[in-house]
Amino acid sequence: MKIGFIGLGNMGAPMAANLARAGHTVTGFDLNAPCPEGVRQAASAAEAVSGGEVVITMLPNGAILREVASEIIPLMEAGAVLCDCSTVDVESARAVAERAQAAGLGALDAPVSGGVGGASAGTLTFMVGGSDAAFTTVQPLFDIMGQKAVHCGGPGAGQAAKICNNMILGATMAVTCEAFALADKLGLDRARMFDVVSTSSGYSWSMNAYCPAPGVGPHSPADNDYKPGFAAELMLKDLALSQQAAAAVDADTPMGAQAMALYATFVEEEDGRGRDFSALLPRFTARGRG
């Protein structure tokens, strides 16, 4: 396929590179980041989308997505598919899809899970909203960039799935870190706690696959001084999106709200910015010292 790719940051660059390595013709554009090897550099977003059968965007937020979409949709060829892989609010995803469909384009919102490591390895999970036809067109590309793509429903359904998933993730990571800090103070060995919880009813992805305690369980950012696999400020962004969505539909999400408040304090008032979201553990462990 001929593919346009807009947004070549930490996630977008390896995704675009994987598509190019698989033999697709990929033209990329980013205001700041260079193109990865195998991706042709465009001078503008307009040049990147010219003639593209699929245009993929990976952008920071809904406002920028709307701005970019308003620029490129009139320039895309009828029948092409605009596939946004950013994590944005559901309202923005639906607004962009509506505009794309009015222009005779397919539209997908397809946020990802798996972080920078998954983007590089081609093992991302895509949560996809949009039409069956658009999903069928882009599915071969999802198969290159990821290990799984789930068609969740119509426009906005992919973002809804991502927001719900990451609200669970943020809350479970927070309580996992709390539990390790409590275990420390109770004199319980961390490795033995892991052995119990990872095979008991406290089992979770945060504990079993991404353990926040260094030297315990599979290798994780905790074993690399909490250098981010998924940064705390990105978790804060996703939790804020969950609460924005909850307010819009009058959903009661007290645990999600509490997790958002905790990460807001960690990122904005403490030392969480630039650290992995699992770095809440040393934050809780430090309580009462000095």
Give catalytic residues, as residue numbers.
Answer: 162
| CA distance linking residue 177 with residue 162, whole number of Å | 22
| CA distance linking residue 274 with residue 258, whole number of Å | 21
| CA distance linking residue 52 with residue 145, whole number of Å | 18
- Cα distances from 220 to residues 15, 191, 213, 225, 286, in angstroms, run 22, 15, 9, 10, 21
Question: E strands, 54-163, where?
Answer: 54-57, 81-84, 106-109, 112-113, 124-130, 146-153
| 61, 88 contact by CB (below 8 A) | yes
Q: HSE (CB half, 13 Å, CA atoms) of 259?
A: 30
| CA distance linking residue 48 with residue 45, whole number of Å | 5
Mapped onto helix, strand or coil, the DSSP state of residue 200 is: coil
Question: Residue 275, Cα to own-chain centre: how many angstroms?
Answer: 16
| 8, 16 contact by CB (below 8 A) | yes
| 280, 228 contact by CB (below 8 A) | no
| 216, 194 contact by CB (below 8 A) | yes
